[in-house]
Structure 1
Amino acid sequence: MKKIKVITLLVTAALTSAISMNALSATITEKKSNEPFKDIQNSYAKDSIINLHSKGIMNGTTSELFSPTKKITRAEFITTLVRLLRLEPSSSMIPAYKDVAPTSWYYGSIQTATELALTEGTGGAMFEPSKPITRQEAATWIIRALKQKTTNSSSSTDYTDNSAIASWARPYVSTITKLGLMKGSEGKFYPNQDITRQETAVLLDRLLQNNSWSTVLESTTQASKIQMGWQYGQTNEEYEQSIMKSNVNVLSPRWFFLESDKTIKDYTNSSLVTWAKKNGKKIWPLLGNRSSQETTHQFLSSSERTAAAIQKIKSLVTKYDFDGINIDFENVLPADRENFSKFVSSLSEQLHSIGAVVSVDVSPDLGSDWTEAFDYRLLGQKADYLVLMGYDEHWSGGSTPGPVASLSWVQSGLDTLLKQVPAEKVILALPLYNRDWTLNRNGTAVSSEDISLVDQDEKLQRLGVRAIWDSKLGQYTGDYSKNGITHRIWLEEARSLSLKYRMATDRKIAGFAYWSIGGETTDIWTSLRNTERYASYSFK
C-alpha cells in the first residue's frame, strides 16, 4: 500500500510540474506575442523600442523585424525625430535636395526638418539619406530640435577625442552631454561612429523620460493665432473651397469701398456670411479706397463725410453681425496723415462700442511718401490690429528685379513696426503671389509679370527650372530662357514662407494674413501648421 501511495504522489507531482511548465511556457509565448517585433527579446533597448513603437515614433524595418543592431540611416533618424516632434510630413513642391526624390518614403520628413532649419543636408544641395548617421550628427539634430542654447563653435569638450569632433558639432556634443542624453565611453565620445537603431531608441526614449519635455510634446492645446485670408479674384464658391483647405479662421472679402462720390458702398454677399458663420469663421470685410489719392483726400478732409461713413459702417457691421473690419487705404497723401489717424480713431471708438474690432493695413516704414500717411504709433493705439503688408519689396514696373519678400527685408520691416506697436497688436501679411522677371543681358529688369504660386509651380514643372536655395534671402531662385530672353523668379513656397512665419512667431505677434487666398499651392498650409506647432514648443 505504501508503494502505491508513493507512486501516486510522484505521478501527481510530475503532472503538477508539467502543468506549471506549460503555464510558464504559455506565459512566455503570450509575452513574446505582445511584443511588436520578433528580434528584440535580447536587445538592451527592448523596453525603449516597445515604448517608441507604441507612440508611433519608431517602426521596424519590416512588419515583424526591428533590426536593433542595424545602423540607422540619416533618412530614418530624421523621420523618427519629426514623428517625435509630432509634426506632419511636408509635401512641399520644391525638393530641398537633389538626392531626395518627392516619391521617396522619407521625402516629407526631410522637407519638414529642412523647413524648420533642423538640418541643411550635407552640402551642395545633398542630403545623403541612405548614409548611416554618426553620433555627432545625431547630437546636432537633437539639440537643434530641443532648441537648446549652445556655446560657440570653437569651444572644446571634456572628451579625450575632442580633436576628432568636428568644430561645428562641438557645441552640440557638449550640450547633449550636459543634458545626459548622450555619453561617451572611457572618456571618449566617438563622434564619427555610426549609431544603431537600438541606440537611437534608447536615446530618444531617454529624451521622453524628461517629464517637462514630454509634456510639451504631448500637449494638444495651442494658442489660436489670427489667420486672415483676403478674397480677390475668386468667386464665393472658389473662395469657400480654398478656405476649407487652408488654416484661415478670419475671412476678409472686399465688400466696402470708398467710391468717387466720397461715400461708402456696400457689396456684401449674404450667402458668404451665412457660410462663414456655419463653418465657424469670423468675418472682417475689407474697407478699401481703390487707391484713389484724390477721392481719399476729399473724403478725409471732410468731417461730415467721415462722420456719415463711420455711422454707415457701424450700421452695416451690426446688420450683418460682422466681427470687425479691415481698413485698406493705400496711396494716401502725406498731408492726410492726421485726418487718416482721426478717421481710424473715431471708427475704432464706434465699432468697439458694439464689440467689433478694427484692423488697419500698413506698408513697412520705408521713410517715403508712400508710408508717410501712417502714424504707426497712434494707429496702433487706436486700432485693435495693424496688418503689416510684408510684400512688394520689388514691385511691378520697378527697374530693379528682386524678391517680393526676402526674409531680411520682412524682418527689418516687422522689427521697425514693433518699436512703435505692441506685438500682440501686429499681424504680418504674407504673399501668395510672385513675379516672373524678364531681364536684360546686364541683369536689369525689362518687365515683370504677377503670378500666383500655382502658376509659379506650373512653370517650374513645365520648363524644368532648377531651383537654387539662397540662404541670405531665405528663398530659392530659378532661371529659365524663353525666346532667347532670360527670366528669373525669386520663389515663394513652403520653405521661404515657413522661415518668415517662424521669424514672426518668435516675436509673438498676433497672427498672419494672406494676399490672396487661392494663389497658394495647398502644401504650404501643412508647412505653416508645422511651423506654428514647433514654434509653440518651449523646452526648458
Structure 2
Amino acid sequence: MFGGSRTGRSRAPWKLAFLALLCGALLGTYVWIRYVPNFLHEKPDFQGIEKPVFHQGQQLELGAMGKQESLKLALDTVKETIDEALLYESSSDSAIITTKDKVVRLRTSELTAKINEKPFQLRFPMVKSEEGVLYLPMDPLKELYGIELRESGQTGAVILVKPGDEIRWHKTVSWPDKPERTISMRKEPSVKAAIYSDLPQGERVMVWGEEGDWYRIQLTNGYLGYVPRDTLVDDGTEVLPEPKAAAQFEPQKPLTGPIHVTWEHVLTKNPDTSAIGPMPGLDVISPTWFHLQDGEGNLKNLGDAAYANWAHERGYHIWGLFSNGFDPKRTTAALATYDKRMKMIKQLLSYAALYKLQGINIDFENVNLSDKQNLVQFVRELTPLLHEQGLVVSMDVTPRSESPNWSKFYDRKALAQTIDYMMLMAYDEHWDSSPVAGSVASLPWVEKSLLGLLEEDEVPPSKLILGIPFYTRVWTETVKNGKTVVDAKAVFMDMPQRITKEKKLTQTFSKETGQNYIEYKEDGKRNRIWIEDETSVKARVALAQKYKLAGVASWRRGYENPNAWEWIRSTLKP
C-alpha cells in the first residue's frame, strides 16, 4: 500500500509539466496565429486583366487598350460609368455620343468622325479587339466629358476620374529616427494577409473606405489593399472640376412669361389667312406641316411661305409640327438607324430655314413600345442640331396610362432632359369610341395628368406646357336590348351654346368635372354634353398658373369661340 502511494506521487509532477508544456504550445500557437504578422509577399493579379481600369476604388469588368496618347476605353466601360446614353449601332458599326450641344459619330477604324454632321479628324480611331470588344479613343472622351485617365507607367493600370469625383488623399506616417521603416499594404484587413506592397514613409495614397481599424487604399499604380488607420495622415481631398458647361440655348427671339401656343391643323392646304381674326395674347402657332412619309425617313412637306409671312408679320413665332403620321410600322423603320434619323433631321433643318421657323414641334403618336429608346435617341440627336440653328424643340406627349402604343412608349423623364418644352395633350379622357359618355377633359383628370408628369416623370414645370381642348363631344346614348350604346360626335366650342339656345336648355355646373353641362332627349335618345367654354378654359389656365407651368397650348385654332383668346390672355397674362 505504501509503495503504491509513492508511485502516484512521483508521476504527478510529470503530468503537470506535460500539461504546462501543452498549454504553452497552444498559447504560443494562438499568439502566432493571432498576432505575429505574415511576411509573405504577393503580387496583385488584377483579375487576370493586363491593363485594368479602376473607378472610385473599384476595378471595372473590362480593361483598357493602348497606352499614353493611344489609350482607349471599352465602349461598354464608357456606357456603364460615364454616359448611359452612349449608343452603338451595329447596322452602321457606329458609336453615337450625344451631349446637350453635340452629336458625335465614330466609326470603326476611321480617323474621320462627325460632330453635328461636320467632319472632325481623330488622332486615333475607334477599334475592335480580336474578341469583338469596341474601344473608343481617349481624346474625344476627354473633350466631351471632361474626364481624366491616369495611367501608371509601372503597371499599366488606368484610374478613371470623372468631374465631381471626390478623392481622399492620405500620406503614410513618417518616423524621422527610422527612415528605413516601411508600412505593409495587405491583401485583406488583417496582419495575417499577404503583403501587396511595402510603402515608404510619406507615400501618397487614395482612401476609398474603412473596415474596423483598417483603411482600404489604392496606390497610383492601381494596387488596392489595406493598411492600419494609425499609419496614415490626411493629405486633403481632390475633386475634379466640372467642364465648362455648354452655352445655355437661347431662341432667336426669346419668349418671356407664360407662353400660349396654338396648333394650326393643315390637312392638304393651308387656311385662308384673311379669314383668321385677331388672337390677342397668342405667342406661337404650330402648323401641322411636316409628316413622315415612309420608313426611309423621307418627309412630306405641307409648308406655305405665304402663311409663314402672315404669321411673322403679326409677331407670332412658328413651331412647325413634325408628325409620324401615327403609323407604328413606318415609325419603327425610320427610327432604326442613325442615317435615317439624320435624314429626317436634315430635312427639318432645311424646312426651318426655308420658312424662317423659330422651332419644331414633334408629334409622334401610336408608336411601338419597342421603339421607346430609339425615339429618345432621335430627340437627343435632333435637339443639338436644331439648337445650333437657334430653333426651339418641343414635343407633344399624352397623359400617363397603361396603353403601350399611346402612352408607355414615351420616356418622358429622358425626353424632358433634352427638349425645351413638353406639351401635355390633356384631352380625350373620353375619346370618340369610348364605351361610356364623359368629359373630353374633366378638371380633376387634367390635374392628375399634370401631376403624373411633374412628380413621377420629374418634368420641370418650367418646361411643361398644358394642352387644352377647343372642342367637345355630343354623346348620344341609346338603349338596345337593355344595354346602353354610346355614340359620339366632336363639335366646335360654340356648338353647345347654339344647342342650349335653340332647345331652351339650362346649363348646370358639374362639380365632378369642373365644367358646365347639358343634356336633352331627341328621338327617344339621351344626348349629353360636357361644355368647353369660358368656365372650363379659365379653370385649365388657372391650373397652369397653380403649378407655375411654362404656358398652355390649344388644340386647335378654328375650333374656338372668338373670345377664347381673351379668356386665356386675361388669365395667363393678367
Letter of the structure 2 residue corresponding to residue 363 of structure 1: T
Match of 2:532 among 473, 480, 492: 492
Letter of the structure 2 residue corresponding to residue 325 of structure 1: I
Match of 1:232 among 265, 269, 291: 265
Residue matched to 2:71:
none
Residue matched to 2:32:
none
Match of 1:247 among 265, 281, 287: 281
In 2, Cα distance between the equivalents of 1:270 and 1:301?
Answer: 32
- Bigger helix share: 1
Cα separation, partners in 2 of 1:238 and 1:458, compared to 1, 3 Å = farther
- Bigger strand share: 2
Residue matched to 2:439:
403
Could you list the per-position Cα deviations for residues 369-428 of structure 1 after superposition, in whole angstroms to 9, with x for gaps in the alignment? 121110011100111110000100000111011000000000000111112110110111
Aligned runs of 1:202-351 on 2, under 5 Å? 224-232=257-265, 236-238=270-272, 241-242=275-276, 244-260=278-294, 262=296, 263-351=298-386
Aligned runs of 1:427-446 on 2, under 5 Å? 427-441=465-479, 444-446=484-486
The answer to whether 1:412 aligns with 2:448 is yes
**Retained in 2: the 8 A contact 1:391–1:405?**
yes
Letter of the structure 1 residue corresponding to residue 411 of structure 2: D
After TM superposition, give the deviation of residue 285 of structure 1 in Å: 0.8
Could you list the per-position Cα deviations for residues 179-215 of structure 1 after superposition, in whole angstroms to 9, with x for gaps in the alignment? xxxxxxxxxxxxxxxxxxxxxxxxxxxxxxxxxxxxx
In 2, Cα distance between the equivalents of 1:231 and 1:246?
Answer: 16
Cα separation, partners in 2 of 1:460 and 1:238, compared to 1, 3 Å = farther
Aligned runs of 1:317-396 on 2, under 5 Å? 317-369=352-404, 370-396=406-432
**Retained in 1: the 8 A contact 2:326–2:365?**
yes
**Retained in 1: the 8 A contact 2:287–2:321?**
yes
Residue matched to 2:492:
452
Could you list the per-position Cα deviations for residues 299-353 of structure 1 after superposition, in whole angstroms to 9, with x for gaps in the alignment? 1123221111111111221232210111111101111000000011111111011
**Retained in 2: the 8 A contact 1:249–1:282?**
yes
Could you list the per-position Cα deviations for residues 223-257 of structure 1 after superposition, in whole angstroms to 9, with x for gaps in the alignment? 53211111126964545644623432201111110
Over the aligned positions, Cα root-mean-square deviation in angstroms equals 2.0
The gaps in structure 1 that reach 5 residues or longer are 1-221, 535-540
1:440 is paired with a residue of what secondary structure?
strand
In 2, Cα distance between the equivalents of 1:228 and 1:321?
Answer: 17
The answer to whether 1:521 aligns with 2:541 is no
Could you list the per-position Cα deviations for residues 104-125 of structure 1 after superposition, in whole angstroms to 9, with x for gaps in the alignment? xxxxxxxxxxxxxxxxxxxxxx
In 1, Cα distance between the equivalents of 2:418 and 2:266?
Answer: 31
After TM superposition, give the deviation of residue 509 of structure 1 in Å: 0.7
After TM superposition, give the deviation of residue 260 of structure 1 in Å: 3.0
Sequence identity percentage: 32
Work out which structure has the larger RCO, using CA pairs closer than 8 Å and 6 or more positions apart in sequence.
1
Could you list the per-position Cα deviations for residues 499-535 of structure 1 after superposition, in whole angstroms to 9, with x for gaps in the alignment? 111012111111111111010112222322232245x
**Retained in 2: the 8 A contact 1:242–1:517?**
no
After TM superposition, give the deviation of residue 360 of structure 1 in Å: 0.4
**Retained in 1: the 8 A contact 2:304–2:355?**
no
In 1, Cα distance between the equivalents of 2:470 and 2:447?
Answer: 18
The gaps in structure 2 that reach 5 residues or longer are 1-254
2:467 is paired with a residue of what secondary structure?
strand
Aligned runs of 1:527-538 on 2, under 5 Å? 527-533=567-573
1:513 is paired with a residue of what secondary structure?
strand
Residue matched to 2:25:
none
1:457 is paired with a residue of what secondary structure?
helix
**Retained in 2: the 8 A contact 1:239–1:517?**
no
TM-score, length of structure 1 as denominator length: 0.56
Could you list the per-position Cα deviations for residues 446-498 of structure 1 after superposition, in whole angstroms to 9, with x for gaps in the alignment? 21001111223222222223211012310111101121111001111110111
In 2, Cα distance between the equivalents of 1:362 and 1:243?
Answer: 29
2:417 is paired with a residue of what secondary structure?
helix
**Retained in 2: the 8 A contact 1:258–1:265?**
yes
Residue matched to 1:504:
544
| Count of residue pairs brought into register by the alignment | 313
In 2, Cα distance between the equivalents of 1:525 and 1:423?
Answer: 23
Once the two structures are overlaid, the 10-residue window that deviates more, 290-299 or 518-527, is 518-527
Aligned runs of 1:29-48 on 2, under 5 Å? none
Letter of the structure 2 residue corresponding to residue 464 of structure 1: K
Residue matched to 2:516:
476
In 2, Cα distance between the equivalents of 1:344 and 1:306?
Answer: 9
Cα separation, partners in 2 of 1:445 and 1:325, compared to 1, 3 Å = farther
In 2, Cα distance between the equivalents of 1:239 and 1:469?
Answer: 36
**Retained in 2: the 8 A contact 1:394–1:404?**
yes
Letter of the structure 1 residue corresponding to residue 376 of structure 2: S
In 1, Cα distance between the equivalents of 2:264 and 2:341?
Answer: 26
2:466 is paired with a residue of what secondary structure?
strand
Cα separation, partners in 2 of 1:354 and 1:408, compared to 1, 3 Å = same
In 2, Cα distance between the equivalents of 1:502 and 1:279?
Answer: 27
**Retained in 1: the 8 A contact 2:492–2:560?**
yes
In 2, Cα distance between the equivalents of 1:484 and 1:318?
Answer: 57
In 1, Cα distance between the equivalents of 2:274 and 2:261?
Answer: 13
**Retained in 2: the 8 A contact 1:246–1:522?**
no
Could you list the per-position Cα deviations for residues 108-145 of structure 1 after superposition, in whole angstroms to 9, with x for gaps in the alignment? xxxxxxxxxxxxxxxxxxxxxxxxxxxxxxxxxxxxxx
Cα separation, partners in 2 of 1:512 and 1:241, compared to 1, 3 Å = farther
Letter of the structure 2 residue corresponding to residue 381 of structure 1: Q
**Retained in 2: the 8 A contact 1:227–1:250?**
yes
**Retained in 1: the 8 A contact 2:477–2:487?**
yes
- Rg comparison, structure with higher value: 2
